[in-house]
Each structure stands twice: as structure tokens, then as C-alpha cells.
Homo-oligomer: A and B are copies of this chain.
């Protein structure tokens, strides 16, 4: 059973809309923040990836909105890895309010691509090992 990475955030005033809760397009930014932190806490293998000429373009985002997040509210974004294939990885997210209520779930799908060749490429072993730790 894989680890779940937790990242704490707080809703900014610039992120809420006229209904006084976080605008729907901000959730993918929260996902990205938490995913970036997962990679950062595992000693930045993404830079290694880039130095090997590999990139990880996003091919799909999905968000299921469950409960509103209000201005100045603190919440936890939980990230794990749901599918780890030869050329792609799917991250799974849960946004939880302080009282444990689920505010949203979602996923993002990323391919591994050789930037020069413009073709799919296999994840390097040490990068794959990071993802495997979070595979649920």
C-alpha cells in the first residue's frame, strides 16, 4: 500500500469568486501545488528528468467538486499515484477540509516524452521508484 503525500494550503482572496468560495479553475492549481511538493520532498527528480531530455506533459485533468472551499479556509491536498504505466502516470487527489469533509477528488494524467524525438519514452528507474512509493 503506497504512501499518500499531504500538502496544506489556504484559500486566497484572489481565488474566490462571486459566490464567496474558491473558483472551479483554481482546483487544478491546488493539485499542481501538491504534486510539485511531492516531487520536491523526494529530492527533485524532475530536474534530473529534464536534464535527460524528458518532459511530462499533462494529458488529462478531472475534478469532482463535493463541497465548497471558503475564503481563508485551510485544507489538505492528498496526492497519490493511481496508475503507473511504461509511458504514463496518473496522480489521484483528494482535497479535505479541516473537519475531514471531502471538498473534491480528481486526477491528472501525465505522459513521459522525449522532448527532442517528440515520442513517448520510458520513465527512468529512479523516477519510477519515487512514483512507486505513492502507488495505491
Contacts and interface: CB of A to CB of B under 8 A. Distances in A.
B33 A25 contact: no
Interface string A46-64: 0000000000011111111
B20 A14 contact: no
Contacts of A40: 72
Number of identical protomers: 4
Interface residues of A, number: 30
Q: Is the interface of A mostly helix, strand, loop or mixed?
A: mixed
Given A25-B26, A40-B72, A32 B13 contact: yes
Interface of A: 12-14, 16-18, 20, 23-29, 32-33, 36, 40, 57-65, 71-72, 108
